Amino acid sequence: MPRAPPPAAAVAPPDPARRGRHRPWRITAILCIAELLSMSGFATYPALLAQLRDLWGLSGAAAGFVGGSLFAGYMAAVPFLSGLTDRVDGRGVYAFAGGLAAAGAIAFAVLAQGVWSAALCQAVVGAGLAGTYMPGLKAISPSTPRPSASAPAPPCSSPARLRRSPAGAGPSSWPAPGRWPRACWCCGR
């Protein structure tokens, strides 16, 4: 025999105090996916470099110029876009930069025909990455649980210990091969 639906009074209305509140793990998951998508343009050119070098007849220097233009766009935009999140809502900056990165990636796929057009598109992708990478990390950090403020810093983070460690010195001051366990005392090993 089928069950009758519960009476209308038995169904609790949504709590207005909970409306608009999200669970931190959902926000973190959404931002991680958005970060992954915004950085996909970063990996496109290196993944296609062999085919594009043959297709466009790029020299090693020209291929490096196109690849480096992404980082030039990033360096040019990061002081403005990352700093802008301190003055305005970071979500708007993130959305604008994500759109900029997507536009650069689409333009690269559709319009790039050689060194200069590819370099311009890569610079636009880099500028978009500047507005999504650090602001995205800034947006993720408040939604993740933090350890207590009294937690000590890792032992290898001390500049004095790094100067005394093999990683902070030149090869001439590195210990002999049989003495490496003693050299790693700064890491607690």
d(CA 173, CA 180): 12
| Same domain for 88 and 172 | no
Residues 108 and 168 in one domain: no
Q: What is the pLDDT of residues 80-127, one digit of tens each?
A: 887 887 788 778 888 899 899 999 999 999 999 999 999 999 999 999
Q: Which residue has the tokens 């950085």?
A: 39
Give the domain extent around 161: 155-187
Q: Are 93 and 77 in contact (CB under 8 A)?
A: no
Examine the pLDDT at 16 and tell me if it is beyond 80.
Answer: no
Arithmetic mean of pLDDT, 28-40: 82
102: CB partners within 8 A, 6+ apart: 41, 128
In a domain, 47, yes or no: yes
CA-only gyration radius of the chain, Å: 25
Same domain, 133 and 179: no
What does the pLDDT look like over 136-147, one tens digit per residue? 777 766 655 655
- Whole-structure pTM value: 0.62
Q: For 145-186, write each residue's pLDDT tens digit.
A: 655 555 555 555 444 444 454 455 555 555 555 555 555 555
Q: Domain count of the chain?
A: 2
Nearest to 72 by CA among 121, 36, 113, 138: 121
Contact 119, 69 (CB under 8 A): yes
Question: What average pLDDT does range 35-55 have in this prediction?
Answer: 87
Distance (Å, rounded) from C-alpha 153 to C-alpha 157?
7
